[in-house]
Amino acid sequence: MYFITVIFFKSMGDMSLKSTLVIFLSFLAFYSNAQRIAIKGRITDKATGLPLTHINVGFDNKAPQTLSDAYGRYSMIATGKEEELYFSMIGYKKQVISLIQTQGREINIQMEPQSEKLSEVSIKGANKAKYRNTNNPAVDFMRQVIDHKTENNANGHKEISYKQYEKINMSISIPSDKAGKIRLLKKLPFLLENSDSLKVPGKKLIPVLIQEKFNQVRFSALSGDTVLKLGEKQSRIDQYLDEDGINEYLEKIYQGADLYDNDVGLGNQRFLSPIAGMATSFYKYFIVDTLKDVSPRQLKIMVAPKNKQDVLFLGYLFITLDGNYALKRAELSINNQINLNWVKDLQIILDYDVDGSGRYHLGKGVMSMDLGIFREGTSIFGERTIITHDFLYGPEALSRKIDAPLVGSKLNDDSWLKLRPEPLALNDKIAYQNIDSLKQSKIFLRKMAFASFLLSGFIPAGKLEFGPISSFYSFNPVEGSRFKFAGRTTEALSKKVFLDAHLAYGTKDQKWKYSLGTVLSLTDKSIYQFPVKSITLKHSYETQIPGQELNFLEDDNVLLSFKRGSNNKWLYNKKWLIEYLHETSQHLSFKLSYKNQVLKSAGDLFFQRGSQLIPDLNSSEFLAEIRWAPNEKFYQGKRYRRQIVTGQPVFTLRGAIGIKDFLGGDYNYQNISLNISKRFYLSVFGYSDVIFEAGAVFGKVPFPLLHIHRANQTFAYQLSSYNLMNFMEFLSDRYYSVNLQHSFNGFFLNKVPLIKKMQWREIVSLKVLGGTISSGNDPGKNAELFRFPTNEQGRPFSHPLGHIPYVEGSIGVSNIFKILRVDLVRRFTYLENPEVTRWGIRAKFNVDF
């Protein structure tokens, strides 16, 4: 038996969401006790039939033992001595079930709403026929909370300082009644011994990951955040997966929740805070109770989404009744009809502390999430805890002495006991034990090796690995069937020097292609560990589609072999490359390189000057690149990085200088380009991805050295390409482009009857490309240049952009079967060009929360 943990993330190479499965291992646990009885069931509203969350469930007259989840489900363990099972919640009539008379162990309950009169306030129950904002005391009260939010928010101080402890724990969650059927656990008995059956009733939790961080944070309105790491501890496998990258993904999934912000993030979803400025337009509010045993007294407010499919919270807010209208505590979950994938349950508890000025900051926040493909069965239970203490504000915060940074691995257990603001729970202690034991298990290591193969496509063979298997076979009009065999060294051979090579053969052109390269790490880390400092030397002879050298995937990936229209204008490229890469911890990177290449036309592409055919084109150029991605997060794979989009901008400036007669170069030229990309989150309205790019070429050069705009003739939608443009259709020596894509996350479709049950999400995009070719680079005005390519009828196939920009747009639907996106694409300009289609349907796999 095995277990599979599924984590989804996104590639920003084309600014569209991509899915990757990361396989940890999956285990089922054992639980049996002859004297224990499992009781479970579902709780619904008798009037509406909807599931009820946060219903208290307990035995006899004792304290509640559990709460119902977002689907109304509960589960408990009885010893056989209990006589009654009760269900209670303010706003509903209490129900008591006799366990003596009940034969079954699945007890489903329908709760009947009731209106209770409290001494301080009147409950405005959820059973009212029509909810209105007008003349609603709960809404009027919440508007006061919203109006006072800024003055109550401690983050409004110009200077603050605090210490923050953070813990993430991931466990495999298995129904207890299925634990005895697991064969793998018989081979790994320590997992049975080191499991937690108390945290989630009816479930066995087998911890597989834990991470602790302890930071000191200072903030100044002038200089921003300064985070100093005081300690870090983590259970790590450190062999097959980029665990630093996985941690970045977990932090994006389990983002810090603070309702004083307008949004709370979960992956690419944004939950509108119930106290945000426009919250009353999307939330319902009900006054539930007054808490008199706390100081100051608090009003308990129930919040619920007006539209059950919208990405909004369900739960309770606790507001002070001292005239400040401050949020003191929040208990939040989600309803089971929300347009949110893979999340079986979500629970958030936030407690706020008050500082000396009367403002509130998050003292402790706990986010628990149960992730799984199916509602029943094995899932991944994760919990992130954030505790803030020693909070200071004002000039004193900046003058506070900062503790010397310590490397987490050097801290002993006694040091961590002092650093932790609260002791580790049982589940946390088990996590450290399990990982240490798993690293010694040959069964586990074999499973992890298989997981690494599925993720990277490379077959491990000790000090070498071979692949990727997706490129072993492909086909194209120039090479025909193409077979490729590739391999590279691993860290088992050397952590400083890496070698890679491939050999390929085309059955149609009957030519061998090859590459051989080496990368030398200039640090004591490998080239897969950020920040990288390295030197690369590579020689290759390969085919290439003009203008497509920056593909995110390899050109010979078998999935890219299927293309529309004609695709027979290629290049043979013999290239030498030497490159120096220097990355900094501030995510500012520099590249300096020299590239020498000999380009030969292939297929129906010809280099023609007048009536003379030119056999090849030589270029010799020095290149430089500066890239700045502030606060960038990514997953480091073995072939590329996958950016984890956080909404921060990315700036990339590139430049090149070609030198004639230097090592065979034929032309003098310079080119420069600037690319800026950013994601804008718009709360319940979704998010927008924006890419701006501009560039120029200086000097007289033939068309292969101009900017050949990135086209897409595959059937997969790409944000960074023009999906109805043909390869080599447009060339420029001056250009600009703006690509816009907005994902509404179901904002409109969630409100359409019947369709809202499909949980589809709408996407729109618009792409604009403008440019020109100067007279010096126009072969019609300069006979020394290569003629632009033509089609079989002799009509020009490549064109300069005129006064009108190239424009295309699309309307799409994503989240089809939770994994598929389909777009209807429309081209609006240059429809008279040959082999042009106005409309197209494009699809891609797109996985997200």
Residues 604/835, Cβ–Cβ less than 8 Å: no
pLDDT of residue 492: 85
pLDDT exceeds cutoff 80 at 824: yes
What gap in Å lies between CA 628 and CA 650, rounded to an integer? 6
pLDDT exceeds cutoff 70 at 444: yes
Average pLDDT over residues 18-33: 34
The structure's pTM equals: 0.79
Token pair, residue 232, equals 């870090």
Sheet holding 707-708, edge to edge: 707-708, 730-732, 799-800
pLDDT exceeds cutoff 80 at 454: no
Determine what percent of the chain is predicted with pLDDT higher than 90.
Answer: 42
- pLDDT-derived band at 179 (thresholds 50, 70, 90) equals low
Helix, strand, or coil (residue 91):
coil
pLDDT exceeds cutoff 90 at 642: no
Q: What distance lies between CA 670 and its chain's CA centroid?
A: 37
Least confident of 63-67, 754-758, 800-804: 63-67
Residues near 302 by beta carbon (within 8 Å), at least 6 away in sequence: 91, 126, 285, 286, 287, 288, 315, 316
Residues 648/615, Cβ–Cβ less than 8 Å: no
pLDDT exceeds cutoff 80 at 686: yes
399: left (phi over 0), alpha (psi -120 to 50) or beta: alpha
Beta strands in 604-659 (DSSP E): 608-609, 612-613, 617-628, 633-636, 641-644, 650-658
pLDDT exceeds cutoff 50 at 820: yes
pLDDT exceeds cutoff 60 at 819: yes
pLDDT exceeds cutoff 50 at 551: no
Beta strands in 375-420 (DSSP E): 379-393
What gap in Å lies between CA 504 and CA 512, rounded to an integer? 6
What gap in Å lies between CA 359 and CA 355, rounded to an integer? 6
Higher confidence at residue 440 or residue 143?
Answer: 143
pLDDT of residue 245: 61
pLDDT of residue 14: 37
pLDDT of residue 195: 73
Residues near 137 by beta carbon (within 8 Å), at least 6 away in sequence: 121, 122, 124, 287
Burial 32-71 (b: 16+ CB within 10 A, else e): eeeeeebbbbbbbbeeeeebbbbbbbbbeeeeeebbbbbb
DSSP letters spanning 518-553: EEEESSSS-TTSSSPEEEEEEEEEEEE-TT-TT-SS
What gap in Å lies between CA 637 and CA 640, rounded to an integer? 5
Beta strands in 468-532 (DSSP E): 473-476, 480-489, 497-506, 512-521
pLDDT of residue 10: 34
Question: How many other C-beta atoms are found inside a 10 Å radius of the C-beta of residue 232?
Answer: 16
- pLDDT-derived band at 631 (thresholds 50, 70, 90) equals confident
Residues near 425 by beta carbon (within 8 Å), at least 6 away in sequence: 199
pLDDT of residue 17: 33
What gap in Å lies between CA 739 and CA 721, rounded to an integer? 9
Task: Sort 507 into a burial class: Cβ within 10 Å, 0-12 / 13-18 / 19+.
Answer: exposed
User: C-alpha angle with apex 806: 805 to 807, nearest 5 degrees?
Assistant: 110
pLDDT exceeds cutoff 60 at 318: yes
Question: How many other C-beta atoms are found inside a 10 Å radius of the C-beta of residue 596?
Answer: 18
Residues 88/94, Cβ–Cβ less than 8 Å: yes
pLDDT of residue 128: 47
Beta strands in 699-845 (DSSP E): 707-708, 730-732, 734-743, 761-772, 799-800, 806-816, 820-827, 839-845
pLDDT exceeds cutoff 80 at 119: no
Higher confidence at residue 373 or residue 179?
Answer: 373
What gap in Å lies between CA 770 and CA 807, rounded to an integer? 9
Radius of gyration of the chain (CA): 31
Residues near 646 by beta carbon (within 8 Å), at least 6 away in sequence: 252, 631, 632, 633, 679
Sign for the CA dihedral angle at 769, 774, 775, 780 comes to negative
Residue of 172, 178, 212, 180 whose CA lies nearest to 196: 172
Higher confidence at residue 450 or residue 729?
Answer: 729
Could you give the C-alpha distances from 708 to 139, 703, 732, 767, 775, in angstroms and in order?
Answer: 57, 8, 7, 16, 17
pLDDT of residue 5: 35
Q: State which amino acid sits at residue 287.
A: I
Residues 207/190, Cβ–Cβ less than 8 Å: no
pLDDT of residue 129: 54
Could you give the C-alpha distances from 565 to 571, 714, 836, in angstroms and in order?
Answer: 18, 9, 9
What is the end-to-end Cα distance of the chain in Å, rounded?
27
Residue of 85, 86, 84, 66 whose CA lies nearest to 74: 66
Could you give the C-alpha distances from 612 to 168, 615, 787, in angstroms and in order?
Answer: 68, 10, 10
646-670 residue pLDDT tens: 889 999 999 999 999 999 999 999 9
Range ranked top by mean pLDDT from 63-67, 187-191, 544-548: 544-548
pLDDT exceeds cutoff 80 at 738: yes
